[in-house]
C-alpha cells in the first residue's frame, strides 16, 4: 500500500479495548484490506483526562491501562502510523506544572509556562486582549497560585490545559523527548494538535501568525531529522489553509466535510468545485474526526469578517439546520451552548447522522472523499456508519462525546455485516490498493453531476456522483482488468491487486 492509502482514525480503547486489541483488529480482514495506515488518538497518561487524552500529564509515557510502547510498535508494523504531538499545552496535573506552582521562580520549570504577564510584560490594552483569537468564549486566562502568588496562566482551551512557552529551552527539550519516543515506536507521521495557538505574539490574534509558521518550520525540521512527516491541525479561513498547505508537509482539508454536506443536501456542487480548484493537494482528507464538523473552515474570516467564505452566512446557517434536522435534533443537544464543551464553530454529530442515516448519500460522500487528492482518513465511528450516542452525551455532558461511542466486540461484528459498512470497506480497499490514486487527478461539474478521475496511462479510476439523487457510479481499470458498478450499496467494488 502507498502513503496515499486510507488511514483509520481511532482511540485505542473505544474500538478494540486497548493497543494489543487494536493491533490484532488491523491484522484481520476487512480492516487489513481497507486501511493502509492508522492515526491513534492520544494514548498517553492519562488517556481519559479532562479532554480525552489531549491534556497529557506525561506525553512520553503510554497509559499502562492501554499497553506499552512495544504495543504501539505492533500497531505500526507494516503500516503508516500517525501519533499526536500536543505542542500547545500540558495537563495541570503534570509534574512540571505542579513543580512550578509550588516553587515559582525558583523552579527549574520557571519559564516553561505562559502567563498574561509573560506575553504582555508591559500590560495589555483592552484592544490587544480583544484581538486574541480563541475557540471558546472569553479570555484565555485561568488564575493559579504560583510560588505563593496569584498568576493569570494562559489556558487556550480549558483551565486544565496549561499553555507552554515553545520558545523556552525546557519546553523545547520536552517536545524533543516526545518526538524521540514516538519515532522510537515506529511512527511515520505526527499530527501537531492545536499548533495554530502555540505561539503568542502581543498585539496580534495569537493565531497562525508569522511566528507560528516559524515555529512549525523549526518543529518540522526536528521531526524530519527523526524520520517523521508532519501534519498541521488548524481550523481556519479557507485561504489561510491554502497558505498553510504551501508551508508544511501536510494540512487537514477541514473544508471538505461541510462542503460535501452542502452539495448533497442542496444538489449544488458549485462551492465544492471551487474548493477543489484551489485546495492544497498535500492534504489529509476527512469527513469526520474526534471533534465536531467544522463550520469555521467554510465561513468568513473570523479575524477579518469582510473576507467572504466558501459558503455565505445564509447557506451556512441552512447547512447547520439541515444537520440538526437530519439527526432528529440530537446534534442540537450536543452543539454550542447546549453542551459543556463549547465548540462554537463546530456541529457535534456523526457524519452518518448528519446525512440522515441515508446509506446512499453516505456512500456518495465517502466516495467523493476517497477520490479527492490527499491522504484519506476515516474516523472509527464513521467506518462503522455510527449513529449519535445520545446516552454517552447525557452521561458526560460533553458535546463531542456524541461522536465517540465505545464499541463492544459484538457491536463491531454486527456493524461489519451491514451493507453500508461492507460497501464503505470495499471503497476503502479500492482506494488503498490501486496505485492510480498516486497519478493525475481531474474533475468536472456538469449540472448536479460531479465527475472525478484519476489516470496513469491505461490505468484509471473514475467516479460520477449525482448530487441531487445521490447516485454514484464507479469504474476502474488496473493492469488490463476493468470493473464498474452503478450502485455502491448493492454492488460494492471488488478489486484484486
Whether the predicted pLDDT of 22 surpasses 80: yes
Q: What percent of the chain has pLDDT over 90?
A: 86
Q: What's the mean pLDDT in 42-69?
A: 91
Q: Does the annotation place 478 within a ligand binding site?
A: no
Whether the predicted pLDDT of 322 surpasses 90: yes
Task: Quickly state the pLDDT bin for 337 (edges 50, 70, 90).
Answer: low
Beta strands at 44-45 and 58-62: parallel, antiparallel or unpaired: antiparallel
Highest mean predicted confidence (pLDDT) among 267-271, 288-292, 344-348: 267-271
pLDDT, residue 338, reads: 55
What are the residue numbers of the active site? 193, 233
Plot region of 441 (φ>0 → left; ψ -120 to 50 → alpha; else → beta)? beta
What value does the mean pLDDT of the chain take? 93
Q: What's the mean pLDDT in 7-17?
A: 97
User: What does the pLDDT look like over 183-211, one tens digit per residue?
Assistant: 999 999 999 988 999 999 999 999 989 99
Q: What percent of the chain has pLDDT over 70?
A: 98
Q: What's the mean pLDDT in 371-385?
A: 98
The CA-to-CA distance between both ends of the chain, in Å, stands at 10
Task: Quickly state the pLDDT bin for 365 (edges 50, 70, 90).
Answer: very high
Plot region of 234 (φ>0 → left; ψ -120 to 50 → alpha; else → beta)? beta
Q: Does the annotation place 262 within a ligand binding site?
A: no
Q: Does the annotation place 250 within a ligand binding site?
A: no
Alpha-carbon 160 to chain mean position: 21
Q: What's the mean pLDDT in 297-314?
A: 86
Beta strands at 440-446 and 449-456: parallel, antiparallel or unpaired: antiparallel
Q: Does the annotation place 400 within a ligand binding site?
A: yes
Is residue 143 within a helix (H) or strand (E), and if so which, with residue range? strand 141-146
Domains of the chain (ranges; CATH) run: 7-89+167-435 (3.20.20.80), 95-163 (3.90.400.10), 437-485 (2.20.220)
Residue entry with cell 506525561 = 58
Q: Which of 112, 296, 98 is nearest to 196 (CA)?
A: 296
Q: How many Cα atoms within 13 Å fall on the side-chain side of residue 413?
A: 3
Q: What's the mean pLDDT in 307-323?
A: 92
Give the separation between CA 461 and CA 177, rounded to whole angstroms.
43
Distances (CA, A) of 344 to 181, 194, 396: 34, 16, 18
98: buried, middle or exposed (CB in 10 Å: 19+, 13-18, 0-12)?
Answer: middle
pLDDT, residue 194, reads: 86
Count CB atoms within 10 A of the CB of residue 468.
15
Whether the predicted pLDDT of 343 surpasses 70: no
pLDDT, residue 340, reads: 41
Task: Quickly state the pLDDT bin for 339 (edges 50, 70, 90).
Answer: very low
Q: Does the annotation place 172 within a ligand binding site?
A: no
pLDDT, residue 344, reads: 54
Instruction: Identify how many contiguous H helices and E strands the chain contains and give both numbers.
Output: 19, 21
Residues 57, 93 contacting (CB under 8 angstroms): yes
Give the separation between CA 172 and CA 137, rounded to whole angstroms.
29
User: What does the pLDDT look like over 74-83, one tens digit per residue?
Assistant: 999 999 999 9
Backbone angles phi, psi at 172, to 5 degrees: -65, -40
User: What does the pLDDT look like over 416-446, one tens digit per residue?
Assistant: 999 999 999 999 999 999 999 999 999 999 9
> Rounded to 5 degrees, what angle do the CA atoms 135, 162, 150 make?
110
Q: What's the mean pLDDT in 170-181?
A: 96
Report the predicted TM-score, pTM, of the whole model to 2 decimal places.
0.94
Task: Quickly state the pLDDT bin for 136 (edges 50, 70, 90).
Answer: confident
Amino acid at each position: 500500500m502507498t502513503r496515499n492509502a486510507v488511514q483509520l482514525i481511532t482511540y485505542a480503547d473505544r474500538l478494540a479495548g486497548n493497543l494489543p486489541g487494536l493491533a490484532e483488529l488491523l491484522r484481520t480482514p476487512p480492516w487489513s484490506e481497507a486501511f493502509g495506515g492508522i492515526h491513534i488518538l492520544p494514548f498517553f497518561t492519562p488517556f481519559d483526562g479532562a479532554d480525552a487524552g489531549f491534556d497529557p500529564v506525561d506525553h512520553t509515557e503510554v497509559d499502562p491501562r492501554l499497553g506499552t510502547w512495544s504495543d504501539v510498535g505492533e500497531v505500526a508494523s507494516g503500516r503508516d502510523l500517525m501519533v499526536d504531538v500536543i505542542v500547545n499545552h500540558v495537563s495541570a496535573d503534570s509534574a512540571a506544572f505542579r513543580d512550578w506552582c509550588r516553587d515559582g521562580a525558583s523552579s527549574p520549570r520557571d519559564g516553561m509556562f505562559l502567563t498574561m504577564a509573560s506575553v504582555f510584560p508591559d500590560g495589555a490594552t483592552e484592544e490587544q486582549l480583544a484581538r486574541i483569537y480563541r475557540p471558546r468564549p472569553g479570555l484565555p486566562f485561568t488564575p493559579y497560585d504560583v510560588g505563593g502568588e496569584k498568576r493569570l496562566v494562559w489556558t487556550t482551551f480549558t483551565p486544565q490545559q496549561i499553555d507552554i512557552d515553545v520558545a523556552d529551552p525546557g519546553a523545547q527539550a520536552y517536545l524533543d523527548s516526545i518526538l524521540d519516543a514516538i519515532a522510537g515506536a515506529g511512527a511515520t507521521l505526527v499530527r501537531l494538535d492545536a499548533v495554530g495557538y502555540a505561539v503568542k505574539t502581543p498585539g496580534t490574534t495569537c493565531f497562525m501568525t508569522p511566528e507560528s509558521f516559524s515555529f512549525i518550520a523549526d518543529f518540522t525540521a526536528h521531526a524530519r531529522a527523526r524520520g517523521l512527516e508532519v501534519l498541521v491541525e488548524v481550523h481556519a479561513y479557507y485561504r489561510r489553509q491554502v497558505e498553510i498547505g504551501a508551508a508544511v508537509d501536510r494540512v487537514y482539508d477541514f473544508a471538505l466535510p461541510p462542503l460535501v454536506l452542502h452539495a448533497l443536501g442542496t444538489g449544488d456542487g458549485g462551492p465544492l468545485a471551487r474548493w477543489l480548484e484551489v485546495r492544497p493537494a498535500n492534504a489529509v482528507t476527512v469527513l469526520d474526526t474526534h471533534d465536531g464538523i467544522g463550520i469555521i473552515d467554510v465561513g468568513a474570516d473570523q479575524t477579518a469578517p469582510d473576507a467572504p467564505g466558501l459558503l455565505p452566512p445564509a447557506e451556512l446557517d441552512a447547512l447547520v439546520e439541515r444537520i440538526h434536522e437530519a439527526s432528529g435534533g440530537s446534534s442540537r443537544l450536543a452543539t454550542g451552548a447546549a453542551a459543556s464543551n463549547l465548540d462554537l464553530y463546530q456541529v457535534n454529530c456523526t457524519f452518518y447522522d448528519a446525512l440522515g442515516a441515508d446509506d446512499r448519500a453516505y456512500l456518495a460522500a465517502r466516495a467523493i472523499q476517497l477520490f479527492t487528492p490527499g491522504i484519506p482518513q476515516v474516523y472509527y465511528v464513521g467506518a462503522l456508519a455510527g449513529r449519535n450516542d445520545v446516552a454517552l452525551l447525557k452521561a458526560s455532558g460533553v458535546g463531542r462525546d456524541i461522536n465517540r461511542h465505545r464499541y463492544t466486540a459484538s457491536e463491531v461484528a454486527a456493524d461489519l455485516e451491514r451493507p453500508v459498512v461492507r460497501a464503505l470497506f470495499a471503497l476503502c480497499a479500492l482506494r488503498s490498493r490501486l496505485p492510480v490514486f498516486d497519478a493525475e487527478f481531474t474533475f468536472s461539474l456538469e449540472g448536479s453531476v460531479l465527475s472525478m478521475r484519476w489516470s496513469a496511462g491505461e490505468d484509471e479510476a473514475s467516479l460520477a456522483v449525482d448530487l441531487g439523487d445521490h447516485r454514484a457510479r464507479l469504474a476502474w481499470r488496473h493492469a488490463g482488468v476493468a470493473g464498474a458498478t452503478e450502485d455502491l450499496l448493492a454492488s460494492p467494488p471488488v478489486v484484486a491487486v
